[in-house]
Amino acid sequence: MDAIRARIRDVPDFPKKGIVFKDITPVLQDAATFKLVVDALAARWSGERIAKVVGIESRGFIFAAPLAYALGAGLTIVRKPGKLPYERISEAYALEYGQVRLLLRGGARVPERRASPRPGKGPRAREVLRGLALLPPAYLGEVTGSLQFLGTAGARHVVASQARHSGGLVWRAAGATLWVDPGPGALVRALAATPPLDPAQVTALLLTHRHLDHAGDATAAVEAMTGGGFHARGALYAPADALDEEPVVFRYAQRFPRQVVRLRAGGAWKLAEGLTLETPLSHDHGVETYGYRLTFGGFTAAHVVDTFWMDALPDAYAGADLLIVNTTRRSGRSPPPRSSTRTTRHRPCAPSRCSCRLGWRAPTSVPDRW
């Protein structure tokens, strides 16, 4: 990668003052470097059964065409105005140097599977995101859903310092919004997030267990979801001991949701048309605790929440397309190392790379099948 970066030339104050233009023509002019770029892209997506590569005008054309060829995939182009005849759909967005509009020919054929890039920052990243916004859900493949991290903390000493935020996770799929584990500060994190989460639009709240870092704002979230109790709506899913024995959702607020469900091992519930929640087993975590599986559009996501190691875990969460694992521990409850209590302000991270919920002690070994 250093060889590639070395050939990218910076052109300051172009196309206007304050902008540094990244000139890639030296990369293209050198056969070995150009081949290195295409080979690296192809290696990243080989074996993924990619049906279409989308190239966004104009640099996207340069790399998308050879990449599609290398992957044995088709090529779809997203163009600037005035270049596409026939039916087309468009999306406008702003760059530092003005308004831009992208267009996609209507009626594009549907691929078998979608693979999304991971844009970085700046104008080119926005161009990629806007280009993807043009693609209708069917074009993007069989899965339309999202996962947003508002921060899942990790141990109460982390919550106390807010070294990592504790707002929970938000799933959006099948027209529903599921908010998981609203810990301390969850309401503030939800409203300040990008994109913001409107609690009044939440379909269901899920508490995996009653510990502070997972349920500290549970009552506030219920109130926000139901308009302070004036609009009976939504559902609350929680372990029985989080509602009865030591309620983390105050009893008065338990009357507000339209439905209150006590989780159980082996339970399955329909959250919306085409969206199913399952709790395959009870975890070993000192209080009643459940991980979960979400299934929508032929896609399964699983979340292994806090637990000691259990031999039943691999089978319970097997077959998931996306697996999120809160670091498990073999046994014991040793305090965190002194150095781990330092406060380091959490920086927002890409959901696909988020490590907001790593514990301080992981198993020394894990069975191969995990």
Shared domain check, 338 and 208: yes
Q: Round the average pLDDT of the chain to a whole number and report it.
A: 77
Residue 369 inside a domain? The answer is no
Phi, psi of 239 (to 5 degrees): -65, 155
Q: What's residue 80's pLDDT?
A: 65
Same domain, 186 and 61: no
Residue-wise pLDDT tens digits, 227-240: 999 999 999 999 99
Closest CA to 150 of 167, 126, 128: 167
pLDDT of residue 188: 92
Q: What is the pLDDT of residue 103?
A: 52
- Which of 109, 134, 159 corresponds to the end of one domain? 134
- The CATH number given to whatever domain includes residue 172 is 3.60.15.10
Among residues 363, 368, 362, 356, the alpha carbon closest in space to that of 154 is found at 356
Residues 261 and 237 in one domain: yes
pLDDT in tens, 70-97: 999 888 877 666 655 544 444 554 544 4
Q: Is 274 among the domain residues?
A: yes
Q: Give residue-wise pLDDT tens across range 111-150.
A: 434 444 444 444 444 444 444 554 544 444 444 688 998 9
Please report, as a single letter, which amino acid is at residue 313. Answer: L
Residue 164's pLDDT band, with cuts at 50, 70 and 90, is: confident
- Any domain includes 365: no
The pLDDT score that the predictor gives to residue 206 is 98
Instruction: State the total domains in the chain.
Output: 2
Helix (H, G, I), strand (E, B) or coil at 76: strand
Catalytic choice (9, 48, 49, 96):
96
- Say if residue 115 is in the same domain as residue 96: yes
- Dump strand ranges (E) for 215-264: 235-238, 259-262
CATH code for position 50: 3.40.50.2020
332 half-sphere exposure, CB direction, 13 A CA radius: 9
107 and 172 both lie in a single domain? no
239-267 average pLDDT score: 96
216 and 273, same domain (yes or no):
yes
Claim to verify: residue 15 and residue 157 sit in the same structural domain: no
> What is the separation of C-alpha 329 from the centre of its chain, rounded to a whole number of angstroms?
25
What pLDDT was estimated at residue 118?
40
* Active-site annotation holder among 59, 126, 156, 172: 59
Domain for residue 361, yes or no? no
Asked, for residue 359, whether it belongs to a domain, the answer is no
**How far apart (Å, rounded) are the C-alpha atoms in residues 357 and 351?**
12
Mean pLDDT calculated for residue range 274-287: 94
**195/338 same-domain check:** yes
- 80 three-state secondary structure: coil
Residue 227 pLDDT = 94
User: Domain check: are 169 and 304 in the same one?
Assistant: yes
Looking at the fold, whether 185 and 294 belong to one and the same domain comes out as yes
Which alpha helices (DSSP H) does the chain contain, by range? 2-6, 25-29, 31-45, 59-71, 123-134, 156-161, 186-192, 212-215, 218-225, 240-243, 313-316
201 shares its domain with 83: no
Residue 338: inside a domain, yes or no?
A: yes
More confident residue, 1 or 290: 290
Q: Which pLDDT band, with edges at 50, 70 and 90, does 370 fall under?
A: very low
- The verdict on whether 49 is a catalytic residue reads no
Tell me if 140 is assigned to some domain. Answer: no
Confidence (pLDDT) at 329: 63
* Residue bearing tokens 């302070």: 228
Q: Please check whether residue 289 lies inside any domain of the structure.
A: yes
In terms of domains, do 228 and 323 share one? Answer: yes
The residue range of the domain holding 173 is: 145-353
**Domain end marker among 72, 106, 134:** 134
Q: CA–CA separation, 21 vs 289, rounded Å?
A: 52
Q: Which of 88, 108, 134 lies at the terminal end of a domain, its last residue?
A: 134
Q: Which residue type sits at 279? A: T
* 262 among known catalytic residues: no
CA 247 to chain centre: 30
